[in-house]
Structure 1
Amino acid sequence: MRPQLVPFLLIHAGCAAAICSGVTWQAIAICVVLYWSRMFAIGAGYHRYFSHRAYATSRVFQFILAFLAQSSAQKSVLWWAAKHRHHHLHSDTRRDVHSPRHKGFVYSHVGWIFARQHDATDLQKVADFASFPELMWLHKLEVLPAILIAALCVFIAGWTGLVVGFLWSTVLLYHATFCINSLAHVHGRKRYVTGDESRNNWLLALFTMGEGWHNNHHAYQSSAQQGFRWWELDLTYYILKVLCWLGIVWDLKTPPEQVLRNKQRLGSRVIGRAAEQLAGRFNPEQIALAVRSSVQASELSALRDSLCRLQHRAEVLRNLRLPKMPTRDQFLAEARAMFAKTISLDDIVDRAYELLLESVGSRLVVQ
């Protein structure tokens, strides 16, 4: 068993100690306050500020956010931000640290945290914050904030304050936060083409103070506002707005009008990932076999010669209009069924069609 897994399991098991410590209204009040205050610190701090620089704030409030978020026992602020930035670079690809598509639901929900390859913190990814000595201090003493908050709970309400106030709220925080990595990439609606499986989930948004509008977030990552529609409840953003009026935070980034109207042109990385998803709906091996069986031997030999001579095999196959070869119109119909509305749909279709033709061409060259 990994050493890091032991305290995680003990925190879960410790929740049952409420049978002995009892449950008081004071302890329940502590649990509620700690859950919502630390959820705000995770969403506004770990995520929107330290991972995405969605707004600016002072060095003092930056430390407060980091300390409070780190009291949730979800590792250090620098570790969290570095892993999250890596996630966005490789979202739902094989290099993603917690993709349900490639790693399975349980691993994406919690298992990845305890995998050995994720122990280290890539400080290069968070060099903008690693330069602050106080954040490096928190990074090195990552469990200290949780210990201090736990001790405060004991001081206020005794053992029931520790068990019900601290442990219960910490376990709830664990799984509410982890659901964004797992459930928010499995269940919900896609308003935007993002090249991954991020989804908007209203129920998760309620429990995470707005983090459940995950497809919105992947569409425009640097936004402090994640609920893009008036009815998309985003408590974290509302609190940030109040803090902005008070001068505690400033320069809140919001999505531009083009994004809100879903009329932004997609970047090449998103187009490439979406194209791979679309091309994956067609089986190049079966198509190549169907082409071989539908043309005469002499024609197949000439086709192979052409494919071997030319570097861009997709052009050869596109111009020949071979039988059994899917048409671009078929790709377009499939794309309209797969993806949300986007002005970049033709770019995705063209790239996906080229990927399939190249794949089929490479198989036709083989005898």
Structure 2
Amino acid sequence: MTIAPLKQEQTLQETPLRPKWTVIIFMAVVHLAALLAFLPSNFSWAAVGVAVFLHWVTGGLGITLGFHRLVTHRSFQTPKWLEYFLIFCGSLTCQGGVTDWVGLHRMHHLHSDQEKDPHDSNKGFLWSHMTCWFYHIPADKEVDRFTKDIADDKVYQFLNKYFFPLQIGLGVLLYFLGEAYSPGLGWSFVVWGIFVRLVVVFHCTWFVNSATHKFGYRTFDSDDKSTNCWWVALVTYGEGWHNNHHACQYSARHGLQWWEIDLTWMTIQFLQALGLATKVKLADK
């Protein structure tokens, strides 16, 4: 009499996740479009410079400083206009809306490397790196519960909803800037400033979810698999000191040793000197 219920429960637990086809198609298109950078007609050092600059603006100021240390963990405070600017920069990475990003990351810290972790590293490197975003996961339904502090903010609502049209607007702007710089460079600016830059920022950010739960050293016993990985810190402006971060998640400084270079912490110190970063929290370990 107990066999049928057990089979039913097992079946429910093993139900395959539903793919997010819009995300899968978008990622495929962006990655394929980035390959256009290999065409000689699309290469220019000016376009490469645009991509590097936007990598810092969107990935460094936007994701690392804005989405992560400022909003997700509230490790420091800024004037509201600066907070909105940083969130705007982060929205240009096309890593989903800011509310979704913040909510899922807060869940990651609560359930790090456990079943409810949105990118549980126990499920494999590829899952934690990128394929977790290709499926409807249970954590998606919990975002609202973890983002009540920003849910009613009209600016956050706008950026959460319209991050994709903003990317299109940036592409149009880059095209005309390229043409103004030198006729014929408009498309080069778009290929490098949008497609190449998006792909590089995607994978730099994802390495924090995957590589820093697999490679590197551990300074603290943080009850998960988080590690400190120097090369991830290099491409993410200091986010690679992930074990430090998991042990002291509200600290604005992630690189706690002198050799753990943390460019984002240096940025916060600069803002602090200007009076634009206040109530800066630091690790007590």
TM-score interval, normalised by the smaller of the two chains: 0.7 to 0.9
Equivalent residue pairs, number: 256
Q: Which has the higher contact order (CA 8 A, sep 6+)?
A: 2
Would you say the 8 A contact 2:233–2:240 is kept in 1?
yes
Equivalent residue of 1:129, what SS? coil
1:52 aligns with 2:80: no
Work out whether residues 104 and 140 of structure 2, in 8 Å CA contact, stay in contact via their aligned partners in 1: no
Which residue type is aligned with residue 8 of structure 1? M
Q: Return the alpha-carbon distance in structure 2 between the equivalents of residues 255 and 148 of structure 1.
A: 40
Residue 250 (structure 1) shift: 1.4
Residues 31 and 166 in structure 1, CA contact (< 8 A), matched pair in contact too: yes
**One-letter code aligned to 1:246:** L
Cα distance between partner residues in 1 of 2:246 and 2:59: 20
TM-score by length of 2: 0.86
Where does residue 110 of structure 1 map in the other structure? 130
SS in 2 for 1:4: helix
Task: Give CA-to-partner distance per residue, 1:189-227, whole Å, 9 cap, x none.
Answer: 010000000000011111111000000000000011000
Aligned residue in 2 for 1:163: 191
> Is 1:207 paired with 2:227?
no
| Cα distance in 2, alignment partners of residues 137 and 36 from structure 1 | 23
Give yes or no for contact 2:91–2:160 (8 Å, CA) kept in 1.
no
Answer with 78-87 or 134-143: which moved more: 134-143
When Rg is computed on C-alpha atoms for both structures, the one with the higher figure is 1
Could you tell me which runs of 5 or more consecutive residues in structure 2 were left unpaired when the two chains were aligned. 1-18, 179-185
Could you tell me how far 1:124 is from its partner in structure 2? 2.2
**1:91-144 CA-partner distances (Å, limit 9, x unpaired):** 01111111121x211111101112112555622211111121111111121313
CA distance in 2, matches of 1:80, 1:69: 10
Q: CA deviation at 1:20?
A: 6.4
**Could you say which residue in structure 1 is the equivalent of 2:49?**
29
5 Å matches for 1:63-78? 63-78=84-99
TM-score (norm 1): 0.68
RMSD: 1.4
In structure 1, the gaps of 5 or more residues are 260-367
Deviations 1:208-250 (A, max 9, x none): 1100000000000001100001111000110111011112221
The one-letter amino acid of 2:280's match is L
Instruction: Describe the superposition over 1:316-348 as per-residue Cα deviations: whole angstroms up to 9, x where unpaired.
Output: xxxxxxxxxxxxxxxxxxxxxxxxxxxxxxxxx
- Counterparts of 1:152 and 1:160 in 2: how far apart (Å)? 13
- Which amino acid in 2 is paired with 1:162? V
